[in-house]
A and B are shown apart, each in its own frame.
Chain A
């Protein structure tokens, strides 16, 4: 039993290794090539797909593909419209990009957990993690970009003076002694946004991936009849968790999008 659990631990640890360049010896620049490759591939897929539909979009009777793209876009646009009362020409596309991209990256979790690593192993690549959103780099990349947009929108909506005034005098008051507490509180509030945004998505996807790996461990957990029984249990468990995970990946993509909209519209609104 000890050796088996050791095998499972090893299996999971192996699967949690990112693909990094050979030359790097860890550290900051040990970039996760797998996250970058998958996220870029999915980003390009999103762009090409929506761009092709957008290019041929007509006001007449839409094809099924166009209608599908329009449904997604109108859904996102509706969410933006509910929260944000301003020019949606930037925030709409931003929300659409966030939603579709995060969804596609989350959806990589639904691929068999060993499939992409098994394929890349044929090409001599030992470690490959298929889900970019289960990588803090990826989720923080998005949430920090959103954070920068929050800052930009705050300056745009309130001006430099207005924003500084808000940072130092809200919520406690205008007294100079309160400037520092005000600023610290606002700083916490500001920083908590990208952190919570990134960690929520990361946590959900990482945990989901881990559960898939644990279930996949059942496939090689025993021998003889017990082994086959566990194999069957693994199939059922994998299917059930996969179906449940469809809900999770959609909800996480949706939450990331909605919070992005909410944060930016909060920055846009005057206090």
Chain B
């Protein structure tokens, strides 16, 4: 039951085992574990950074979209205003043209009416002379009664 010479051999074996573990096992595995810890920490922080970047990119995109929409609506507004302006101008131009044409036509009409009146006066004058000459049964000398006739014509 009591320990015997086996003990010394096994103590030596134990010491060799400890030495082997110190030398060849422990450092390698702890190194790998520590490196992996660093890697995992880096990966986590990188993921966090990427997450933050994604978030900022998202807000930027939303911002851009909002801006673009605003710009588009501004452009549409401007275009509508322009179109309205063109229409108004055209309408105004048309009215001016119409008025001008109307004035021209009225002038023409007035001139023609004047002319017709002149002609009518002359015809009335002639008819009056003819009628008068028929009434007095004699030739009325147009030249002698010219002043009379003109006065007559002016009165018609």
Contact = CB atoms under 8 A, between A and B. Distances in A.
A36 B16 CA distance: 14
A57 B6 contact: no
Interface string A139-156: 011101100000000000
Given A57-B31, A93-B21, A145 B9 contact: no
Contacts of A70: 29, 32-33
A195 B123 CA distance: 165
Interface string B6-33: 1111110111011011101111111111
B136 interface: no
> Which secondary structure dominates where chain A touches chain B?
helix
A58 B14 CA distance: 28
B21 A97 contact: yes
Given A39-B10, A54-B28, A140 B3 contact: yes
Interface string B28-68: 11111101101100000000000000000000000000000
B21 A47 contact: yes
Given A89-B27, A136-B1, A136-B2, 8 more contacts: A31-B6, A47-B17, A50-B25, A51-B20, A59-B36, A89-B26, A140-B3, A141-B11
Contacts of B24: 47, 51, 54-55
Contacts of B5: 28-31, 137
22 contacts: A29-B5, A31-B9, A40-B13, A43-B13, A51-B20, A54-B25, A59-B38, A59-B39, A62-B36, A73-B29, A89-B27, A90-B22, A92-B30, A96-B25, A97-B18, A101-B14, A136-B2, A137-B4, A138-B6, A141-B7, A141-B11, A144-B7
Interface residues of A, number: 47
A50 B9 contact: no
A123 to B, nearest CB: 21
A97 B4 contact: no
A30 B10 CA distance: 14
Interface in A46-83: 46-47, 50-51, 53-55, 57-60, 62, 66, 69-70, 73-74, 77
Interface residues of B, number: 33
A94 interface: yes
B7 A55 contact: no
A188 B89 CA distance: 118
Contact of B36 (A47, A60, A132, A135): A60
A27 interface: yes
Contacts of A90: 22
Contact of B32 (A32, A58, A77): A58
A35 interface: yes
B17 A46 contact: yes
Contact of B11 (A53, A94, A145): A145
Contacts of B3: 136-137, 140-141
A142 B16 CA distance: 12
Which among B14, B28, B31, B39 has the greatest number of chain A C-beta atoms within 10 A?
A: B14
Which among B11, B24, B29, B36 has the greatest number of chain A C-beta atoms within 10 A?
A: B29
Interface string A222-253: 00000000000000000000000000000000
Contacts of B15: 145
Contacts of B4: 27-32, 137
Contacts of B27: 89
Contacts of B39: 59-60
A41 to B, nearest CB: 11
Contacts of B25: 47, 50-51, 54, 93, 96
Given A94-B18, A140-B3, A145-B15, A36 B9 contact: yes
Contact of A43 (B17, B26, B28): B17
> Which 7 pairs from chain A and chain B are nearest by CB?
A59-B35, A137-B6, A141-B10, A57-B32, A54-B28, A93-B21, A93-B26
